Structure 1
Amino acid sequence: MKSFSLLCLICFAISCAGSKKIVTSNENSTSTDKENSKNLDSIIETPSDTFSIKDSLNITPTKEDVKNDEVLKDKITELKTKFLNRPNQTWNELLDLYVSEEGKVDYKSFSKEHQKLLDYIHNLSFIRSDDTFESLSKNEKLAYWINTYNALTIDLIIRHYPLKSIKDIKDPWNQRLWKLGDKWYNLNEIEHQILRKMNEPRIHFAIVCGSYSCPKLKNEAYTSENLDEQLTDATKTFLADDKRNNISSNNLELSKIFQWFTKDFKQDGSLIDFLKKYSDIKISDKAKKRFKDYNWDLND
């Protein structure tokens, strides 16, 4: 009955949805009690010119469903999966248009469709708006947060464009500008408090800080179904890129990412053990390591 009530609440709320633009905040923004009381409505409402969550639903609980809690759970899972995957159509379109195969971002052209990006972020907010988010699989959560981090990074840069580096922005990773569900987030929190705690070191080659020395931004959305393949591809591509890493059997010139997050790469052995898994080069266990300077110029 609890699951039935939850599903009814979701369906009812969505059936009442209208259209609204994404809400953003400055660092010191706070929500009033009045805003909190309207939070559910503001999250569920979806921009009319993009993916319509309301239109995507065709799930109505029946009396028979009430007798079968497992059926209800399946329906809720189906509901969440629709929310999780459909918004990526917009994200895929934007990435395909404005991110090259080499991972360079055309921020100038991207900025002309800033509202479309904000609409996508709005849909990300809806996905995060319910406690049922916590019951998503690990891969679904990873894909969600990777796409979210990259979308928010591009949004941050577009807000300040033109600029030469993301570091030209004051405290770029600490600005709490985005409301996902009922909470305001910044990029540092998503990276360090959420993604890194999921014990998947390959995320470091999927999330992109908008800089030249970063891994390249993939011009497609990450999905739970293809996540392992996508993360492996991103890791191998980054290691093989001689502009970011120079790897030989006995000498390793590595990105500072491997220095900053050494602990993440030692979960199942040494750093060299990790590198061996994703490099075609036979690396000696005694290979000498040094770390390259990091170029913070914009990845455009």
Structure 2
Amino acid sequence: MRNTIYLLVAIIIASCGSSKRTSPAPQSPEIVTQTVVTVPQNGSGTTPDVQESDSIETPQTPKEDCVELPEVIEVVPAPETPEIIDDSNQYLDEIVEVRTTFDHSNFNKILVQNVSKAGNVNYDAIKRNWSTLRAYITSLGENMPTEDWSRNEKLAYWMNAYNAMTIDLILRHQPLESIKDIKDPWKQRFWKLGEKYYNLDEIEHQILRKMGDPRIHFGINCASFSCPPLLNEAFTAEKVNSQLKSLASKFINDPKRNTITTDRVEISKIFDWFAKDFKTSGSVIDYLNKYSETKISTNAKVRYMDYNWALNDQ
């Protein structure tokens, strides 16, 4: 009987010890301190010793029905700072290279509409729209040539100015039969360019002739029949060289203004008045031979024609 009681007590004690050997509670997602339970091997019902171990980082247990994804951080590269290049001088060069020169289109319209291919001028028609011509002359005064203008730009500017002022001079004194009906026509200072009033003499002798191109004498017009005909278009920097070349050839080979044979020439007084300009690279005959359709002998006799000052009116 005693043995039976001991056996029952042992079973009860063993059963109690077994119930105390429980699994650790589920660990929280944080870093926790793991406990180690030491159970006596003799199966006694004493409370087990609990020892603390070092902190151990354990994997997180995801919650039920919830999947925690790692946070994705998109790394966006900072925008590249554009390289700053100081090319202002480059653009300045391009602007200077392609810049538009002074616009002579308003004067061009006047000439196209009112000057024949032979160079005769419809002064009456121009006078009916005189304000257009005066506005062009005013624009010349507001846009004087500067040092950065090319030679051709200056050449076109001053020849157009001379011809526009000559037309304006005639309109101021109509009616008349000749420019020489005006007292000192080439010394009249009616036109202000910049800060100064100019006359025709000054533009021709102090500016144009000093540019060293004798062809200007075929480009400027003195409103007279014996003058080289007025071109029925404005001079431009782009075309001025070809324009003067054409005018020189037409004038020298015009039998109404020059009679040329191999041994004898009867030529315009322009070649006498301005002989110095035409002799820069030889004689007047040498200059004529550059454009003459008839080659002139160096020993040819030279005579100058009378000058017809009649107005070049239509």
- Taking structure 2 as the reference length, the TM-score comes to 0.70
What's the C-alpha RMSD, in Å, of the aligned pairs? 1.7
Q: Distance in 2 between matches of 1:217 and 1:197?
A: 21
The one of 166, 178, 192 aligned to 2:205: 192
Counterpart in the other structure of 1:38 = none
| Contact 1:65–1:72 (8 Å) recurs in 2 | no
Deviation at 1:286, TM superposition (A): 0.5
The one of 108, 127, 133 aligned to 1:117: 133
Deviation at 1:97, TM superposition (A): 1.1
1:125-164 map, 5 Å: 125-128=141-144, 133-164=146-177
SS of equivalent residue, structure 2 residue 286: helix
| Contact 1:107–1:161 (8 Å) recurs in 2 | no
The one of 277, 286, 306 aligned to 1:264: 277
Q: Distance in 2 between matches of 1:266 and 1:290?
A: 17
| Contact 1:65–1:71 (8 Å) recurs in 2 | no
User: Structure 1: which amino acid aligns with 2:109?
Assistant: E
User: Structure 2: which amino acid aligns with 1:181?
Assistant: G
Q: Distance in 2 between matches of 1:189 and 1:223?
A: 21
SS of equivalent residue, structure 1 residue 234: helix
User: Structure 1: which amino acid aligns with 2:133?
Assistant: L
**Residue 279 of structure 1 pairs with residue 295 of structure 2:** no
- Residues 1:117 and 1:72: Cα distance change in structure 2 (over 3 Å): same
SS of equivalent residue, structure 1 residue 201: coil
Deviation at 1:182, TM superposition (A): 1.6
SS of equivalent residue, structure 1 residue 286: coil
The one of 86, 90, 94 aligned to 2:106: 90
- Residues 1:77 and 1:287: Cα distance change in structure 2 (over 3 Å): same
- Residues 1:65 and 1:172: Cα distance change in structure 2 (over 3 Å): farther
SS of equivalent residue, structure 1 residue 294: coil
* Greater length-normalized contact order (CA 8 Å, ≥ 6 residues apart): 1
Counterpart in the other structure of 2:24 = none
Deviation at 1:96, TM superposition (A): 1.0
SS of equivalent residue, structure 2 residue 147: helix
Counterpart in the other structure of 2:119 = 103
- After superposition, the C-alpha distances for 1:111-150 in whole angstroms (9 at most, x for unaligned) are 111100001111111220xxx6122111111011111100
Deviation at 1:178, TM superposition (A): 0.7
How many residue pairs match? The answer is 230
Counterpart in the other structure of 1:45 = none
Q: Distance in 2 between matches of 1:273 and 1:219?
A: 29
| Contact 1:66–1:72 (8 Å) recurs in 2 | no
In structure 2, list runs of 5 or more residues that go unmatched. Answer: 1-83
Query: Highest CA radius of gyration, 1 or 2?
Result: 2
- Taking structure 1 as the reference length, the TM-score comes to 0.73
